[in-house]
Every structure is written in C-alpha cells, then in structure tokens.
Amino acid sequence: MTTPEPNARPGSAAGPGQLLHLIRSGEVRTRRELQARTGLSRSTVAARVDQLLREGLIREGGVDANLRGRPSTALVFDETRGAVLAADLGATHARAAVCDLGGRILAEHAQGFDIRQGPEASLAWLEATWRQLASSAGEPRILGVGLGVPGPVDFTSGRPENPPIMPGWHGYPVRDELVRRFGVPAFVENDANVMALGEFHAGFSGVPSFLFVKVSTGIGAGMVVGGELLRGADGGSGDIGHIRLGHPETGPVCACGARGCLAASASGGALVRRLCEAGLDATTTRDAVELARGGEPQAVALVREAGLLIGDVLATAVSLLNPRVLVVGGELVRAQDHFMSSLRERLYQRTQPLATRNLRILPSALGTRAGVIGAARLGIEELFSPEAVDRALAG
Amino acid sequence: MTTPEPNARPGSAAGPGQLLHLIRSGEVRTRRELQARTGLSRSTVAARVDQLLREGLIREGGVDANLRGRPSTALVFDETRGAVLAADLGATHARAAVCDLGGRILAEHAQGFDIRQGPEASLAWLEATWRQLASSAGEPRILGVGLGVPGPVDFTSGRPENPPIMPGWHGYPVRDELVRRFGVPAFVENDANVMALGEFHAGFSGVPSFLFVKVSTGIGAGMVVGGELLRGADGGSGDIGHIRLGHPETGPVCACGARGCLAASASGGALVRRLCEAGLDATTTRDAVELARGGEPQAVALVREAGLLIGDVLATAVSLLNPRVLVVGGELVRAQDHFMSSLRERLYQRTQPLATRNLRILPSALGTRAGVIGAARLGIEELFSPEAVDRALAG
C-alpha cells in the first residue's frame, strides 16, 4: 500500500477507504472531484485510485460528460465483483436473497417460516436456502452476510438480546455461527433497523435524519442519523411496539406477555385477534389488510384506530428527533389510505407545525423487500466502510 | 497554533487532533498508550506529541505511576492555556461565565433577564457582562464563545429557527454577530442541547447513548449519541414541550399559542398559571417549586401531575432511543421526590422492563449551572475537535 501521506492510517478521513466511500455513494465521479472534495494532492489521489483499481474495487467507467474542460474518466464502484447473502427473518415469514454489491437482488426466495423453531433449525434452513440461491445466481463470490431478525440484537456480538417473540434465540451467537458456516464477515441486526437502512439507501441517503417505522405482525422503528443507524445502549433502540399506551392491568394482552402495549392494539397481530373475536376470517396480518382493502367495515375501523395510535407515538418520535423523512413500512401500509391518513392526521394533530414543516411522510418504496434489501445493505456498508477497506488494504 | 475555524474539514482518524482528543478526554495518558490505542508507530506518535507540546496544547505532567515497567511521562491537556466565554440565556433568567478549557467556571454572573428584548439588546448586554467577567478572571486568552438559547437553532448557521418564545430572534445571525464582536469562533445551540452536553461531560462521557430532559419554565430534551449531539434535520430535535397530549381545541393554552401542548400542562410556566388561578402566590417557576417543597397540597399535586405527563413522553423517548442514562434537569427537579417519583413511576409503568433494565435515571448534577457549563463545553468541544485541531495545525 502506497502511503505518501502521514495521515493515511486505517480509517483515516482521506485514506483509500474514504475515497472508495465517496465513489461508491456516487458523490464524486472523477479523480479531479476527489481532489476537490478531500483536499488531497493530485499525486496522492492518483496513487490511491490506482490502488483501488488494482484491487478491483473500482473500475473506469468511460468519459464523464458532465464536466467542463478536459474530459475526465469516470470512476465507478464495481458492484458485480462479488455478492452478499441477505435475509430477513420475520415471526412467520422469511425472505432470503443473494444481492450484488449495489444491493440489487440476483436471486431470492420467500416462504412461510416459524422463528420459534429456534436458531439451529433456522440457520440450517438459511444455509441451505442461500446455497441454492447462490447456485441459481451463478455462484458469485460471496463477500459477506447480512441478517435481520425480529427482536433486539447486540450488534457488536451479533447476539439477540431477550427477544420477546424469538424463544431460544436469547444470547445465541448468530453472527459467529454465520461466520463459521460461510467463512466471511457477517452482520446481524434487528429487522426494523435493517428495513430502515434499506429504505434510507433506496432514495434518502443524503438525508441528515431519517426515521422508519414498520407495522406488520409487530411494530418497530429504525433511525438513521448522519448515515449511521442509531443503535441505543443495549441494541434496543426503536423498540416502540411495547410502549404501554393502554392500562397495564386491564389493557389487551400483547405477544410479549404484558398488557396495554402499543403492539397489543395497533399491530397486525392485534388486528387479526380482534377480527377473529368479531367472527371474521383472518389468520395473518395480510388477511386483515385484505379485509380492510376490501372495505370490510370492522377491518377498516381497526386499521384506522391502529393508525391513530401509531400516529400518537410518532408525534413524540418526530418532536424528539426532528427527522427530514419518515417512511412507514410493513404490511399495514398496504391498507393505504385507511392507515396512512389516520396516522398522518394524528401525527399532525399532536405536533406543532414547525416540527413537521419540512417533514416528508412516505409509504415504503421497497415494500416486502425492505428487510432483505436492508440486510444486504447492512452487509455491504459494513464490508466497505472506510475503516474496513483501509484495514483490508493495509493487511 | 492558529485559531481553529468553525466548519473545519474532516480530520484524519489518527492525526494530531485525534491524539489530542484522546489525551484531553483522559482516555490515554502516555505516549505508549497512544501507540497502543491508535496503532501508530512509536516515531509517529513521538513526532505528533512533540508538535502538540510545541503548540502548547498539552504539557508533560510528571511520571505516570500506573504503568508497569519503565515509567512514562504523563501527557495532559493544558486547560489553563486559554478560556471560553459561555452563557445560558433563558426566557427570564441568564447566566454568563468565563470558563477554562476543562469547563471549570473562572468567573460567573447570573441575573433576571428578558429574552423578548431581542437579539441586539441581549448581545450588547452579554458582551458587557463577558468583558467584565474576563477582567475579573484576570483577562485569560479567549479562544471561543459558546451560547445556549431557549429555542431551536440551526447549528450550522448559528441562527434561531422560529423560536416560539424568542420574538425578534428568528433568523438573526447570532453566531456571526458573536464572531464579529469577539473575533473568535462562536457556537450557538438550543438550551436543552447545551445542558445535555454539560451533564454528559460531567460524568457520563463514556456512555454510548445519553438522554437529558429539562423541565423549567419550558420543557426540552437533548440527546448525546456516540459523544455527539443529535441535532435533527432543522435543529429542532428535542423539542418535546410542544407535543400535544391534550385536546388541540379545548386543552390549556401554551406559551407557543397552541393548545394542549405538554408544556401547557407540565412546565413550570403552567404550574405558575394554575397556582395563580387557585389563588396562590407564584410568579416564577422557582416560586411554584418552593410551594411544592413546602408541602402546599395544590402545588404538590400539580408537580406530581407534571411528572406523570413528562414520564409519559419519556416512556416513548426511552423505548425509541434505548439510552443508558437519563438525566432530568431544570427547576422542577428541585421539587425532588414529588416530581422525580411520579416521573419514574409513569416511565416504568409505560415501558417494558427490558427497555429500562440498564437505564439509570438521575437528577441533574450541575443544577442551575448545567446550561452555562454546557455552553462552555460546546465551545471547547468544537474548538478542540480532531478536525478543528488538524485543520489549525495544517493551516
């Protein structure tokens, strides 16, 4: 590794890792722009770009037409030089994929799934599924693994932390087990966090403060500030489903065992239970949403009520965090206006106009793929972080 | 060292600025520890330490006794080589100080103050006060200015953004005006944010996720994650006082003009209003708190009710952010058990045990000085950020 600059240490702000980051994000396209952006000399930029080219991390992508004066060769991150294994495990559904290094799905598989079968069986199923997907994607070079699970995760150790709906998973070394099975770096996160990451990179990567909320069988949130997930002290950030809006003794029973949680009234799981109690035919959150879409009055009323309750909690979240964009994902968004309009109504009602003046509230763009694309994105961002790249090039 | 400029470019992860940061925080004390911590070579560390010594940023502080083997010379940040001007402007009260570079107060002054007199009169008063304080502190070399104001601030421009209780301040270039008056870098922030920074550095600087809430005449919150303030998209983060818990048409009128805000029921301002309506003698939040401390039943009931309402909002904040420490500051904390016990009661009732398992809830350690010490800390942290130091040493 050529290091003409004394500051070119692992993770240095203008090391090759940072140059790659700028190229990969699309913020800069030429050597000249890299110079302008980093303040590095022409020769240093040239040497580092050569190193990135030599390592195959970037390639020259033709002449950049946007520049005035002498045309420059555009530099592009080579998204095809490898792939990541990605999966989104839900309570009752799983989606696995092989994605290129731009987060595009090369092959995917989704099916019903029971998280309660525990980590060994789940990871065995995942391994088999991923191996099959890698085969049908033409056996790309697998560089890493990203996984989302429906509960709190200590990101550093990659172990679930007392997840209420994942019996048997508490403290299980999911990350280490993935590393052992695939021999590449692996990253494990809470599902709402990976969905937040997926949605953020799907069109909002310049946004300084971004909030995502997922309303499916369970409810969770993820926050991306300055491009980074906010993880909280115990990996429990975004766990808004178990805020107790209702009475702790007489409120409805939640999947976590407590009473009065937001999720006990406003989640897809709660909708299903209440529709069944009313004699309607609903087994999954999707069934409940379909009933609302079809105009079934009780389903519509319940979906609207869920939107109001979630709007209440989001009023506080938005006042606290002052995000620029709030994306709402999960199954309930598919109930469209019934859900989103009541959520917006309550959110605007409960916040002062200044808090929402510049706020965009949008339904998920990625839909049911937010989790798996976010899991891929988690893997990619960790694998190609400036620190990781500088370490790899130095080592 | 040339005076660091605001808006410094990103520095290198192991440049001299980063070494100074490690020494300043007390995390490392010797050249040997700097080597171990940064991975830099012995000669590079030696050269950078020499540069910091030459610039007078650090000094050698005797032999470090904690190490085994050959004794090493301890390196310490020289907190006496300059000072910052700091002030906390409230709605009705102001505190100004000159602080050393460790955030210790060298001279201070506090008095009743009316923020509604507008920026020109306020800054003229501040300048006169600071010049007097600097004189009584022995005319230390002033390196920067830190200021907290009771409203949202766009940190980059240093201008208040539609502050509800600061007529005449919207868009006023407070930061530029301070730079013009004192010829040094200046930093302006929301008061709850500077208080959060002050409390964070007063004993929690290792905490990954830290939440502060201030309950005085108004209500606000500040969050410090990974050592950095969370500022939000428009400088409006932490503005929880105007979440509408009450009815938007029939709820009590708030100082912001709207109805039903948290602050309209749970702030010191609301307490004063309601005590007056009940025929009791209270003009300021301090009067209301004194009545509660004296056991006046209506005052106690109102303070307890405020604790419950704030506990409600904090339940959502804690579930969302998963902080390790929550510090509660502002006047109402002085009503001690009446306020804190109801706040805790509601917070625990409304969150699941996992969310609060590792959470410490503490009253402010800095009391009425939290704002001014935090303002000093804002100035110090910005002046000596790794980026600012590297830029200054390079320039």
pLDDT in tens, B373-384: 999 999 999 999
Nearest residue to A236 (alpha-carbon basis) of A292, A162, A302 = A162
Range in A327-331, B18-22, B187-191 the model is least confident about: B18-22
Q: How confident is the model at residue A25 (pLDDT cuts 50, 70, 90)?
A: confident
Q: What are phi and psi of B267, to 5 degrees?
A: -85, 170
Average pLDDT, chain A: 90
CB atoms B243 and A351 under 8 Å: yes
CB atoms A209 and B237 under 8 Å: yes
Q: How far is A137 from chain B (nearest CA, A)?
A: 38
Does the pLDDT value for residue B41 go beyond 50? yes
What angle in degrees, to the nearest 10, is found between the helix axes of A285-293 and A336-349?
90
The residue whose two tokens read 């520095």 is B11
Range in A168-182, B65-79, B318-332 the model is least confident about: B65-79
Average pLDDT value for residue range A362-378: 96
More confident residue, A24 or A255: A24
Does the pLDDT value for residue B72 go beyond 80? no
Percent of chain A with pLDDT over 90: 69
Cβ of A239 under 8 Å from any chain B Cβ?
yes
CA-based nearest residue in chain B for residue A193: B320
**What is the per-residue pLDDT for B2?**
35
Q: What is the DSSP string of A240-252?
A: GGG-B-S-TTTSP
**What is the per-residue pLDDT for A39?**
76
More confident residue, B18 or A86: A86
Average pLDDT value for residue range B308-317: 95
More confident residue, A26 or A214: A214
Q: What is the DSSP letter of B274?
A: H
Kindly list the residues from chain A whose CB atom is less than 8 angstroms away from the CB atom of residue B12. 7, 9, 12-15
Q: Out of A11, A313, A322, whose CB is closest to B234?
A: A322
Average pLDDT value for residue range B121-126: 97
Q: What is the DSSP string of B170-192?
A: TT--HHHHHHHHHSS-EEEEEHH
Please enumerate in sequence order all residues whose Cβ is within 8 A of that of B28, keeping only pairs 6 or more positions apart, or say none. B22, B34, B37, B75
Does the pLDDT value for residue B303 go beyond 70? yes
Q: How confident is the model at residue B10 (pLDDT cuts 50, 70, 90)?
A: very low
**What is the per-residue pLDDT for A72?**
74
The answer to whether A209 and A324 are in contact (CB under 8 A) is yes
- The strand pair at B72-77 and B58-64 is best described as antiparallel
CB atoms B237 and A322 under 8 Å: yes
Interface test with A, best of B193, B352, B360 (most A CBs within 10 A): B352
Cβ of A336 under 8 Å from any chain B Cβ?
no
How far is it, in rounded angstroms, from Cα A243 to Cα A66?
51
Cβ of A266 under 8 Å from any chain B Cβ?
no
The residue whose two tokens read 């005590």 is B275
Cβ of B324 under 8 Å from any chain A Cβ?
yes
CB atoms B317 and A320 under 8 Å: yes
**What is the per-residue pLDDT for A13?**
54
- Burial category of B288 from C-beta neighbours within 10 Å (exposed 0-12, middle 13-18, buried 19 and up): buried
A147 φ/ψ sector (left φ>0, alpha ψ -120 to 50, else beta): beta
**What is the per-residue pLDDT for A18?**
87
Range in B62-66, B149-153, B341-345 the model is least confident about: B62-66
pLDDT tens-digit series, residues A230-250? 998 888 899 999 998 877 778
Q: How confident is the model at residue B173 (pLDDT cuts 50, 70, 90)?
A: very high
Q: How confident is the model at residue A4 (pLDDT cuts 50, 70, 90)?
A: very low
Q: Which helix (H) or strand (E) holds B358?
A: none
Does the pLDDT value for residue A162 go beyond 50? yes
Average pLDDT value for residue range A8-27: 73
What are the CA-CA distances from residue A121 to residues A130, A174, B77 (Å)?
A: 14, 12, 55
The answer to whether B291 and B279 are in contact (CB under 8 A) is no
CA-based nearest residue in chain A for residue B222: A320
Cβ of B239 under 8 Å from any chain A Cβ?
yes
Average pLDDT value for residue range B226-230: 92
pTM: 0.89
Percent of chain B with pLDDT over 90: 69
Q: Out of A232, A237, A358, whose CB is closest to B233?
A: A358
**What is the per-residue pLDDT for B70?**
60
Average pLDDT value for residue range B101-105: 95
Q: For chain B, how many residues are written?
A: 395
The answer to whether A23 and A76 are in contact (CB under 8 A) is yes
The answer to whether A43 and A31 are in contact (CB under 8 A) is no
Q: Out of A13, A243, A317, whose CB is closest to B350?
A: A243
Does the pLDDT value for residue A355 go beyond 90? no
Interface test with A, best of B153, B245, B316 (most A CBs within 10 A): B316
> What residues of chain B, 127 to 166, have a C-beta less than 8 Å from chain A?
152, 161-162, 164
Kindly list the residues from chain A whose CB atom is less than 8 angstroms away from the CB atom of residue B322. 231-239
The answer to whether B359 and B351 are in contact (CB under 8 A) is no
CB-CB neighbours of A256 under 10 Å: 18
Cβ of B249 under 8 Å from any chain A Cβ?
no
CB atoms B350 and A244 under 8 Å: yes
CA-based nearest residue in chain A for residue B312: A245
**What is the per-residue pLDDT for B339?**
95
Average pLDDT, chain B: 90
**What is the per-residue pLDDT for B102?**
93
CB atoms B13 and A14 under 8 Å: no
Range in A9-13, A149-153, B221-225 the model is least confident about: A9-13
Nearest residue to B6 (alpha-carbon basis) of B182, B240, B264, B219 = B182
Does the pLDDT value for residue A54 go beyond 80? yes
CA-based nearest residue in chain B for residue A241: B319
Rg of chain B on CA atoms, in Å: 22
**What is the per-residue pLDDT for A251?**
85
Does the pLDDT value for residue A28 go beyond 80? yes
Does the pLDDT value for residue B50 go beyond 50? yes
**Distance between start and end Cα atoms, chain B:** 9
Cβ of B234 under 8 Å from any chain A Cβ?
yes
Average pLDDT value for residue range B79-92: 94
**What is the per-residue pLDDT for B13?**
53
Average pLDDT value for residue range B4-18: 51
How far is it, in rounded angstroms, from Cα B48 to Cα B41?
11
Percent of chain A with pLDDT over 70: 94
